[in-house]
Structure 1
Amino acid sequence: MPQDITLSRKAFVLDDHQLFADSFTLLLERYMQFEEVQSFSKAEDLLACMAELGTKEVYVFLDYYLYNDNGLQVFSEIKRLNKKAYIIFITSAVSTSVIRNLILAKPHGILSKSSDVPTMMDVTNRVIKGEISIDQNLQEILSKFDDIPSFTPRELQLLKHFSLGSSISEVAEKMFLSKHTIVAHRRKMMAKADCKSIGQLIRFAHDNELI
């Protein structure tokens, strides 16, 4: 039996695949003995709950790939709302660029969706004990860091919008930014990736599993 070190603690799970979110929630309830675990499929619902919770201690299991959002952008919002939140990314990513972006964000833990229950328990328990924990299944990926450029959460959010076919005006309206700011961000991202067009940039992002 696992130690009851998570007893009386609250956890949230955000994954836009509701079946995974619910299934992972059941695993946490069964093996980690959280007092309460709540699942979300939409980032705005999680953030609203975080705002209502205030600054109480909470453990957030956060997917990297989200339909309308990027996990890193949501990560930033969670940190803004609650400095006491412990955030563990759960990801299916196997790209060095994605894993590097996750590490640079400095979450409390990173867990691969291909892991087993003992690994999930180990990563979570280490985070609860105050350690930074990265799934051993990702170590081989971590050993193969390359020269792929890193992108900020804001840039990844922009890439997501562009990949869905949104125009500069539409992205500016959705993100409450000026069109000039969007153009400047796009130019900077293209320079980072050495791309000559937005089409090349989107292909680069897809090829490296950034979005």
Structure 2
Amino acid sequence: MKTTSHAVILDDQKIVAFSFALLLKRECGIELVQSFSQGSEFLQFLRAFGKQELFIFLDYYLPNENGLSLLTEIRRINGDAKVIFLTGATAPAVISSILQYRPEAVLSKSCELSEVFACFEAIKKKELYICSEFERILSTYDKKIKTFTPREIEVLQYFRRAIASLKPLQEPF
């Protein structure tokens, strides 16, 4: 199945990125697959790559940022890029937040290979693809729950890092 000749994976779990890169090459016929674990390295590559057709597999959870915070920058640099979230996130609010930013697809890291193929087919038809696991999760999701914007998530991550850097209180004994 020949889809395009270039893909990029941004995932901080290097074994996941490496394994998925092999899968894309062997099973999907993608010739060049680059993988990155840091958003800054990825954006540097994207600027150098230019505005060519490119599949970008983006994890939601990254060490110092989330995939949503990168999505706007990706679209600015390369409007032809096809962004597919490949994530282990299963919280309905997170999946709903991802969908608000209109990626081309959302895949679970636990999806079957057939869903990766179906994802490429949907993208060719310019249709949104949501893997079956996320479809099930969203079907039971209470839409009244408020989702966070990328900026709100950045602020929450800032506080999480600040709290994590605090030293535990010493016992007075």
**After TM superposition, is the score higher than 0.5?**
yes
Show the counterpart of 1:150.
Answer: 147
Amino acid paired to 2:155: L
> Structure 2 matches for 1:30-45, cutoff 5 A?
30-45=26-41
Show the counterpart of 1:93.
Answer: 89
Cα distance per residue 1:111-170 (max 9 Å; x no partner): 01111111112112321332211111211111122222111111111111111116xxxx
Aligned pairs, number: 162
Show the counterpart of 1:162.
Answer: 159
> Structure 2 matches for 1:1-211, cutoff 5 A?
3-4=1-2, 6-7=3-4, 9-146=5-142, 147-165=144-162
CA distance in 1, matches of 2:91, 2:119: 20
Show the counterpart of 1:195.
Answer: none
Cα distance per residue 1:83-119 (max 9 Å; x no partner): 1110000111111100100111100000011111111
Show the counterpart of 2:171.
Answer: none
CA distance in 2, matches of 1:84, 1:21: 22
4+ runs deviating over 3 angstroms: none
TM-score by length of 2: 0.89
TM-score by length of 1: 0.74
> Once structures 1 and 2 are overlaid, which stretch shifts more, 87-96 or 118-127?
118-127
Gaps spanning 5+ residues in structure 1: where?
Answer: 167-211
Higher helix share goes to which structure? 1
Q: Aligned Cα RMSD in Å?
A: 1.2
Amino acid paired to 2:91: S
